[in-house]
Amino acid sequence: MSKNKSLALQLRPETNEIKLAKTKEYIKYTPIQRGNVIPEERIIEIIDEEIDPFDPPKFKYQKVVARQVVEPVPILHAPPKKATKEEMEEWKIPPCISNWKNKNGYTIALDKRVAADGRHLEQTEIGERHAEFAEALYLAEKASAEENAKKVEMKRKVEMAKKEKNEEEMRKLAMAMRKLREEEEVGEVDEGRERRDQAREERRKDREEFYRKAGYKGLQKDMERERKRDVAESIALGKKVDSKDLMFDQRLFNQESGVTSGFGDEDDYNVYDKNLFNPETRQYRPKDEKDE
C-alpha cells in the first residue's frame, strides 16, 4: 500500500542537485477477526514513491483559443431565372415503378416502364483499346493455327516416310521369301514329276506284260468285266459313267420294302403302326372275391 504526499525539494550547495525528500509513516494495523483465531497486530511502514521531475506530464493540458467574432462573408447569387423546357426534361426524375410488383393493379404504360428502368441513362461506349485487344487476339489465334498446321504436316510427313520405309523393307522381305519358296517348289515339282513319270512307266510296262501274256482273249475278258461292273463301284473307284440312265444304283429305288411298307394311309392319324405291348396280356384285371 502506497500513498502520495507532498514532496520537499532540497538543494545541495555543492552539486546543485535537486533531491526529493522522502517521508516515512508507520501505522499499526489490526486485521479483522475471522473465526476463533485472534489475529496479531502488525506495523506497516508507508514510504512515498520516488518521482523523476524530468518525466513528461501524465495529463495533457489543452489551451482553449479565444473565439473571434467575425462577420460572415456574404455569398452573392445570380438572380433566379426561369428554367427552359429542355432543362426541365433533363432534371425530370421518373417515378419509381416496379417491374415485379403492382399491388393496386394500375395500368402502367410501356414508355413509363422504360423510363423508370433507367436504360436511356446508360451510354455504351467502346474504346479503341477494345479493338486493339480483339485484333491482337485474332492475330495470336491465326499464328497459333498456322503453327499447329505446320506441326501436323511435319508429323504426317515423318509418319509417311516411316511407313514407306517399313513397306519397302516388307516388300524386300516378301520378295526374298517368294524367291526362296519358288526355288523350293521348283525342286519339289521336279522330284514329284520324276516320281509320277517313273510310276506311270512302271504301270505301262506291267500292263503291256499282262496283255502280252493274256493275249486277245484276256483283253476282251477284262473289257467285259469293266463293262459289267456296278455303277456304284465305278463311281466309288472314280471312273466316268457315260450312260445317263445308270447315274444311280437301281437298288436304291426299291419301293417294295422300306419305311412306307406296311404303314397306314395318309389320312390316318397314327404315329405308330402297332402297339408296343400286347393289350390282352398286359391288361389289368381286378381279382374276384371268390378267387381269394
Residue 7's pLDDT is what?
38
What pLDDT shows up at residue 15?
42
pLDDT at 259: 52
Q: 214-241 pLDDT, tens per residue?
A: 666 666 677 777 666 655 555 555 555 5
Mean pLDDT to the nearest integer, 178-188: 75
pLDDT in tens, 151-177: 999 999 999 999 999 999 998 888 888
Instruction: Identify the CA nearest to 247 among candidates 231, 236, 229, 225.
Output: 231
Mean pLDDT throughout 185-191?
Answer: 67
Most confident region among 32-36, 171-175, 178-182, 213-217 by mean pLDDT: 171-175
108-119 mean pLDDT: 76
How far apart are alpha carbons 239 and 229 in whole angstroms?
A: 11
82 pLDDT more than 80: yes
pLDDT at 131: 87
101-107-110-116 Cα dihedral, nearest 10 degrees: -50
The per-residue pLDDT for 112 is 78
Q: How confident is the model at residue 84 (pLDDT cuts 50, 70, 90)?
A: very high
d(CA 173, CA 166): 10
Terminal C-alpha separation, the chain: 140
Residues 250-259 have a mean pLDDT of 56
Distance CA 106, CA 98 (A): 11
In this predicted model, what pLDDT tens digit does every residue of 12-31 receive, in sequence order?
444 444 455 567 889 998 88
The pLDDT assigned to 152 comes to: 94
Share of the chain above pLDDT 90, in %: 15
DSSP state of 137: H
Residue 29 cell numbers, joined: 494495523
For residues 41-45, give the mean pLDDT. 90
The predicted structure's pLDDT at residue 142: 94
* Chain position carrying cell 496283255: 211
Bridge partners of residue 42, in order along the sequence: 29
Specify the pLDDT at position 174.
87
Whether the per-residue pLDDT at 262 is higher than 80: the answer is: no
Rounded Cα distance, 248 and 257, in Å:
18
Residue 139 is predicted with a pLDDT of 95
Q: Confidence band (pLDDT; 50, 70, 90) for 263? A: low
